[in-house]
Structure 1
Amino acid sequence: MLALEDITVVSLESGISAPLCTRLLGDFGAEVIKVERPGVGDVNRHWDSVVDGDSSAHVWVDRNKLSVELNLKSDEGTAIFHELADEADVVVQNYSPGVVDRLGVGYEDVREINEDIIYLNISGYGRDGPYSDRKAYDMVMQGETGLILMNGSPDAPAKIPLSVCDINAATYGTISTLLALFHRERTGEGQELDVTMFGGMLSWLGYFPQKYWHNDELPERIGMRHHLLTPYGPHETADDRYINFAILSEAHWELLCDAVLEQPDLLCDERFATNEDRVENRDVLEPTIESLIVDQSRDYWANRLDEAGIPWGDVNQLDDVLEHPQTDHLDLVKDLETEDGPIPYIDTPIDSDTLEFAAEPMPNLGEDTDDVLAALGYSSEEIEQLRADDVV
């Protein structure tokens, strides 16, 4: 069963945040109509061409959608968008600040024709406030929300390679849309929603704000170690591999010292009596642990950690992850059937006995324009005239 199979989403989207949000809604069964600039389309179509000529980003975020080319700078294009919005349940947009209002496709414009609409704005900083007119991209937002300066090694900060700020906004956008649909089911009321990359990332800062508010502590860059716990993280082994383990409790610490490292004297050292003590004296403890781990192979430590019941894992390259036995067991890599042949993708990671998820390939630019317009009642002749007038 496709949970959102009776829901229609019209999207004015670009990049990753809104496209990933609507892809998730499409995965859940919604009909997603992606409105794109004629002849150009979403910028994410052009970042590379590694997937049989399509971009990897487009394949990631644009499955389960219809693509309609529509010139929103024309009166006819705006009118067609209003017709689409009139029949929609949800509109999603992440255009640059002020654009949808200038084009006449903002919330107030849509609400005049569809008062039950759920209208989701995804933006960097929100639609008002001192930063509201700023454009926002993932790397910019990683810097603004503190991620870059807390990530990396002591010698240099680093950007997180995943588009975490975009993914955050897409996730909150999806959650907020589902909540609004549930609210409308109960009350009959539509609404306007705002999700910001800035606010979303602040909500993901975890315990760091508490450590600042209560201990005047700013997070230092500690590479592969953990800010709150030690020993914790990948350790290089004698065979130039890594063993990755986590000491989360005093019981784990005792097991590590006695059963794994065979260094019971560490338990008698007052500098390491509690986790806070160990973190305070990590400059002594962590080199000690590292010097012990590097003397034996990955397999040696894996066996000892496993026998002791301490959480551990490998440090894998991407190809190891995609070919991981658990990846295979969970059936996470599937194929989209396209005109160019099957394209592998990572499936929605939700397991259910009743729910089903859509798996339609990403659309070519404008491939659904005629069908969508025909469904609105336009004749073939009218569609050809709109194309001649550069409206579609």
Structure 2
Amino acid sequence: ISAGMTAHSAILQALYHREVTGEGTSIQVSLFDAVADWMNVPVLQNDYSGYHTARAGVKHPSLAPYGAYRCADGKDVIFSVQNDREWVNFCEKFLRQPELTRTPGFADNMERLGHRAELDEIIERRFSELSCHEAMQELEAAGLAYGRLNEVADISNHPHVRRVGVGTPKGIVDTIAPAAIFNSERSSLRPVPALGAHTQAVREEVRGLLRERAASA
């Protein structure tokens, strides 16, 4: 995925460069380089601050609080606090504990990273008092980024999911539509070919190439 996305972006840049300058561009993308580029933040932290980024699951290695928390109805909500203003709002409007903003160990983000376990206990208690819907309402009122942690079935049945029918030898499959929408038009995808549907065409194409190569030899 990383290499494909990197190549796609690079091709678009090269096309724009050609449009502006008339010059072509040679592009090289490797799997390793693409993934390494995605690791820039933890690598820079390691190289220049000595900070070792541990595996954090859905939590964030550089932000606290950040992660998924279980509500009273068994559903999970994921949210983050990304700056001091949000931390104040979270403590006052969601936790109902404004004194935490002045409590040693929780006053700023670096302190909270060092006391993540204690902080999570406080947050988990609050979430356990609220349903998923109630928790999201209160996070919204506090001006925080949040979302429900969905199961696959939740995504499949989500009202905002766009679908497009794709023909297959076994019938129509309703797949999730491509994310990009062009000219506000509904997405359409070509049907999936049956096994061997293009075999003859490919063979003829190969024979033609072999004949051309033999003729030019």
TM-score bracket, normalised by the shorter chain, equals: 0.7 to 0.9
Change (3 A) 1:338 1:280: same
Q: Is the 8 A contact 2:164 2:189 kept in 1?
A: no
Distance 1:270 1:343, change over 3 A: same
How many Å separate the matches in 1 of 2:75 and 2:43? 35
Q: For 1:184-238, what per-residue CA distance to the aligned partner results, in whole angstroms no more than 9, with x for missing partners? A: 66547574x4321111001111411121012212221233321111111111122
How large is the Cα RMSD of the aligned pairs? 2.8
- Residues in 2 aligned to 1:376 and 1:222: alpha-carbon distance in whole angstroms: 51
Higher-helix-fraction structure: 2
- Describe how 1:289-304 pairs up with structure 2 within 5 A: 289-304=123-138
Gaps of 5+ in 2: 212-217
In structure 1, runs of 5+ residues without a counterpart are 1-166, 383-392
Aligned counterparts of 1:214 and 1:224: Cα–Cα separation in 2: 25
Query: Which residue number corresponds to residue 211 of structure 1?
Result: 45
Letter matched to residue 53 of structure 2: P
Taking the aligned partners of 1:303 and 1:188, their CA distance within structure 2 comes to: 53
TM-score by length of 2: 0.81
TM-score by length of 1: 0.47
Per-residue CA deviations over 1:111-168 (Å, capped at 9, x if unaligned) read xxxxxxxxxxxxxxxxxxxxxxxxxxxxxxxxxxxxxxxxxxxxxxxxxxxxxxxx11
Q: Distance in 2 between matches of 1:177 and 1:236?
A: 43
SS of equivalent to 2:174:
strand
Amino acid at match of 2:128: V
CA distance 1:190–1:209, change in 2 (3 Å): closer
Task: State how far apart, in whole Å, the 1-side matches of 2:73 and 2:186 are.
Answer: 45
Identity %: 25
Give the residue type in structure 2 aligned to 1:219. Answer: T
Equivalenced residue count is 208
Match of residue 190, structure 2, among 360, 368, 387: 360
The match for 2:116 among 251, 266, 282 is 282
Map of 1:335 onto structure 2: 165
Distance 1:220 1:237 in 2: 26
Pick aligned residue for 1:252 from 86, 107, 113: 86
Residue 174 (structure 1) aligned with residue 8 (structure 2): yes
Whether 1:270 and 2:104 are equivalent positions in the alignment is: yes
Q: Is the 8 A contact 2:169 2:193 kept in 1?
A: no
Partner deviation per Cα, 1:170-193 (whole Å, 9 max, x = no partner): 2223333444455566547574x4
Q: Is 2:181–2:187's contact at 8 Å kept on the other side of the alignment?
A: no
CA drift of 1:377 comes to 8.6
1:199 aligns with 2:33: yes
Structure showing greater relative contact order (alpha-carbon pairs closer than 8 Å, 6 or more residues apart): 1
Over 3 Å counting, the alpha-carbon distance change for 1:373 and 1:172 in structure 2 is: same
Match of residue 225, structure 1, among 55, 59, 65: 59
